[in-house]
């Protein structure tokens, strides 16, 4: 259980004082996968670094299983850190050490006998599917493989908590998915609590149970992933959930003489795979033109919006609106998408 209360951190830079975290309260339950999402500069990295005191907060408390980690002296902090594993965006493997010696590194720091450490390291490499690479050097591995080694290394000290700082940001989508499912596996099998820092919605969607949205150093929304993502209340959250729609400048669609626009909003309907737009053409004879669409499938439910160009008059538009209402989809006529 992690309980963060009143966490504040400011940095002095050449351009003045930057408030990285402002009075952050957060709590993460044991065994949870907790996402912290925000734009770059929102303070997410600072926040996760305060959990293992790589960054010392100005004020506030971080309680891990009841121990206030901000109040520990160096020695006690080092002991505590052995239970808090961390994986990084850049993998941070020791490039002059072989894969197995990298996994042995934390055990070496704690004085685990060499033979015992090697045996454990092989076990862990087997878990992440890289047993055959034990004697290779990191430079010969792909990014995904390097992150797997880092995960094996993170598990070496049987941590209770795994901090993931943009752990998949340097990876391609396929590799990202495989790393995320590995983290999920670890969470389920070993019961390790994970805190996942990311700027990618997809990461939170695919593995997190709860999420906090961080904006300008503040937690602006917090809750279960489906709830937060389906009803983003704040501008910051909307920007994350529908990056395109609030972009404004990117693309503006306006109604013209020949076509009128309607906006349809999916608000958590079951994704049935029913081709709504195509069926409208078949059943009602209205051939809509998709001018803009941004939808997401979160936990089997559809969220998002579409702008449809409807050729024709008032009557056709009304007919289309009726059609969507009958399906339980919110729809209204609009003049433009902004």
Partner 1 sequence: MFERIFESEAVAEALRIVQSEFLMAIWETLYVTILATFFAIVIGLPLGALLVVGEKDGIMPIPGWLLSFLNVLINLLRSVPFLILMIMAFPLTRLIVGTVVGTTASIPPLVLAAFPFIARLVETALREVDRNLIEMAQSMGATPMQIITKVLIPEAVPSLISSMTTAITTILGYTAMSGIIGGGGLGKIAINYGYYRYKYLVMLLAVILLIAMVQTFQSVGTKIAIKSDKRSRK
| Binding region for partner 1 (CB under 8 A) | 52, 54, 77-82, 84-86, 88, 90, 92, 94-98, 105-106, 108-110, 137-140, 157, 163
Q: How far is the CB of 58 from partner 1 (least distance, A)?
A: 17
User: Could you tell me if 218 and 20 are in contact, meaning their C-beta atoms sit under 8 angstroms apart?
Assistant: no
Q: How far is the CB of 67 from partner 1 (least distance, A)?
A: 14
CB nearer to partner 1: give 77 or 122.
Answer: 77
Identify the CA nearest to 331 among candidates 306, 309, 299. Answer: 306
- Name the β-bridge partners of 28: 2
Q: How far is the CB of 86 from partner 1 (least distance, A)?
A: 4
CB nearer to partner 1: give 92 or 200.
Answer: 92
CB nearer to partner 1: give 77 or 329.
Answer: 77
Q: How far is the CB of 111 from partner 1 (least distance, A)?
A: 10
CB nearer to partner 1: give 23 or 136.
Answer: 136
| d(C-alpha 195, C-alpha 211), whole Å | 10
CB nearer to partner 1: give 110 or 279.
Answer: 110
Q: How far is the CB of 294 from partner 1 (least distance, A)?
A: 35
Q: How far is the CB of 181 from partner 1 (least distance, A)?
A: 24
Task: Show the 3-state SS of the chain.
Answer: CEEEEEEEEEEEECCEEEEEEEEEEEEECCCCEEEEECCCCCCHHHHHHHHCCCCCCCEEEEEECCEEHHHCCHHHHHHHHCCEEEEECCCCCCCCCCHHHHHHHHHHHCCCCHHHHHHHHHHHHHHCCCHHHCCCCHHHCCHHHHHHHHHHHHHCCCCCEEEEECCCCCCCHHHHHHHHHHHHHHHHHHCCEEEEEECCHHHHHHHCCEEEEEECCEEEEEEEHHHHHHCCCCHHHHHHHCCCCCCCCCCCCECCCCEEEEEEEEEEEECCCCCHHHHHHHHHCCCCEEEEEEEEEECCEEEEEEEEEEECCHHHHHHHHHHHHHCCCEEEEECECC
Q: How far is the CB of 61 from partner 1 (least distance, A)?
A: 20
Q: How far is the CB of 137 from partner 1 (least distance, A)?
A: 4
CB nearer to partner 1: give 86 or 219.
Answer: 86
Q: How far is the CB of 161 from partner 1 (least distance, A)?
A: 11
DSSP at 13: E
CB nearer to partner 1: give 24 or 86.
Answer: 86
User: Could you tell me if 320 and 262 are in contact, meaning their C-beta atoms sit under 8 angstroms apart?
Assistant: yes
CB nearer to partner 1: give 51 or 228.
Answer: 51
DSSP at 116: H
CB nearer to partner 1: give 45 or 337.
Answer: 45
């Amino acid at each position: 259980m992690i309980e963060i209360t009143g966490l504040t951190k400011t940095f002095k830079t050449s351009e003045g004082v930057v408030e990285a975290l402002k009075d952050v309260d957060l709590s993460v339950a044991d065994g949870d996968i907790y996402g912290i999402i925000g734009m770059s500069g929102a303070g997410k990295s600072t926040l996760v670094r305060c959990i293992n005191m790589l960054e010392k907060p100005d004020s506030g408390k971080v309680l891990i299983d009841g121990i206030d980690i901000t109040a520990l002296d160096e020695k006690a902090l080092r002991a505590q850190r052995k239970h808090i594993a961390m994986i990084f965006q850049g993998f941070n493997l020791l490039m002059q050490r072989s894969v197995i010696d990298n996994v042995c590194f934390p055990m070496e720091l704690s004085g685990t006998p060499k033979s015992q450490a090697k045996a454990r390291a092989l076990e862990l490499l087997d878990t992440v599917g890289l047993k055959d690479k034990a004697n290779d050097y990191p430079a010969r591995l792909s990014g995904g493989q390097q992150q797997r080694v880092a995960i094996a290394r993170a598990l070496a000290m049987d941590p209770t908590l795994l901090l993931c700082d943009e752990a998949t940001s340097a990876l391609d989508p396929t590799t990202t998915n495989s790393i995320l499912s590995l983290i999920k596996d670890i969470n389920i099998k070993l019961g390790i609590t994970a805190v996942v820092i990311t700027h990618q919605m997809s990461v939170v969607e695919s593995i997190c149970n709860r999420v906090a949205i961080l904006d300008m150093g503040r937690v602006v929304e917090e809750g279960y992933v489906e709830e937060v993502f389906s009803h983003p209340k704040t501008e910051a959250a909307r920007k994350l959930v529908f990056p395109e729609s609030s972009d404004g400048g990117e693309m503006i669609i306006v109604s013209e003489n020949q076509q009128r626009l309607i906006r349809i909003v999916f608000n958590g309907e079951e994704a049935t795979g029913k081709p709504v737009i195509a069926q409208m053409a078949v059943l009602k004879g209205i051939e809509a033109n998709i001018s803009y669409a941004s939808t997401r499938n979160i936990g089997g439910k559809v969220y998002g919006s579409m702008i449809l160009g409807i050729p024709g008059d008032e009557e056709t538009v009304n007919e289309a609106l009726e059609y969507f209402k009958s399906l339980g989809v919110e729809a209204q006529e609009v003049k433009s998408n902004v």
